[in-house]
Amino acid sequence: MSVTFGAVLKDWRQNRRISQLDLGLAANVSSRHISFLETGRSKPSRSMVMRLCDELEVPRQARNQFMSSAGLSPAYKSRDLSESDMAPVQQAVDWMLERHAPFPALAMDRHWNVTALNATAQLLLQGMGVFVGNSLLNVLLENEAVQNAIVNLDEVITHTLARLRTESAHLGGDCILDEAIERLQQLGGGDVHTQPDLLPAFIPARYNLNGQEFSLFSTFSQFGTAEDIALSELKIEMMFPADEKTRALLMAMA
């Protein structure tokens, strides 16, 4: 049984916790029109679907579901980086990863599957059995070498859970991310806000590798103005040394 446009719209509106009145005001239509769209008494135009998706911050892949439920053709495609028109993007990804050396950096998709590693990241991760194509979620959940190497595993799990919940909520729910959340909750973690003292500016991940401790924090980059599904979901993680000892170790490795 196909899902109606009204059901999809109502589900996303409630997911975003926006009333019909507020959505109507944001989209410059009446709340009555939003009600008619949700009950099927009105049929949306293509421009109306796009406007509502913009106001609800619907990800590119889910926008195709909006289009399909309204009887319209998809608006977005998912391209592989190897396709010719994606060459500038592939070059940009390679440039960012390579220029970030001697610090580790990687690229991953919406489900945390590694799509690229720079030389430093390869050197640090391959010893723990982590390669391009692996899911970092499965690595954290199942790879004992990685679990044993992370000195502050509970803190890492706690902050990973926070990221996963945010990403799943943005996507309107994602079965793979939601399953990882459930499994991570069983693995460990805790509430960092129970600490009585002032929280630090950031909490790095600390790894013990071959008797040396590396302390790293991360920044994440995504492509702005991306209209391709895969490109809009691609994330680049760049890791930086959290202390001078780690910086010196990474420089020596280079």
The helix (H) or strand (E) run that includes residue 53 is helix 46-56
- Whether 159 and 45 share a structural domain: no
- Whether 26 and 113 share a structural domain: no
Q: Across residues 169-195, what is the average pLDDT?
A: 83
pTM of the model: 0.88
CA–CA separation, 63 vs 65, rounded Å?
5
- Whether 160 and 221 share a structural domain: yes
Query: Is 203 contained in some domain?
Result: yes
- Whether 124 and 45 share a structural domain: no
CA–CA separation, 51 vs 57, rounded Å?
10
Number of domains in the chain: 2
- Whether 60 and 93 share a structural domain: no
- Whether 149 and 183 share a structural domain: yes
pLDDT tens string 33-61 = 999 999 999 999 999 999 999 999 999 99
Q: Which two tokens stand for residue 188?
A: 């460990």
Residue 124 contacts residue 214 (beta carbons within 8 Å): yes
pLDDT tens string 87-144 = 999 999 999 999 999 999 999 999 999 999 999 999 999 989 999 999 999 999 999 9
Query: Is 93 contained in some domain?
Result: yes
Main-chain dihedrals φ then ψ at residue 212, nearest 5 degrees: -110, 135
- Whether 116 and 166 share a structural domain: yes
Residues 6 or more apart from 29 whose CB is under 8 A from it? 48
Residue 234: which CATH number?
3.30.450.180
- Whether 90 and 54 share a structural domain: no
- Whether 177 and 240 share a structural domain: yes
- Whether 28 and 93 share a structural domain: no
Domain extent at residue 24: 5-69
CA–CA separation, 16 vs 34, rounded Å?
15
Question: With bands split at pLDDT 50, 70 and 90, how would you rate the model's confidence at 193?
Answer: low
- Whether 103 and 190 share a structural domain: yes
The predicted structure's pLDDT at residue 201: 73
Query: Is 79 contained in some domain?
Result: no
Among 7, 6, 10, CA closest to 19 = 10
Question: With bands split at pLDDT 50, 70 and 90, how would you rate the model's confidence at 191?
Answer: low
Planar angle of CA 14, 60, 111, nearest 5 degrees: 90
Residue 239 contacts residue 214 (beta carbons within 8 Å): no
Q: Across residues 64-69, what is the average pLDDT?
A: 96
Query: Is 214 contained in some domain?
Result: yes
Alpha helices in 84-201 (DSSP H): 87-99, 119-125, 136-142, 144-149, 153-170, 175-187
- Whether 100 and 174 share a structural domain: yes
The predicted structure's pLDDT at residue 210: 87
- Give Dmax (Cα) for the chain: 67
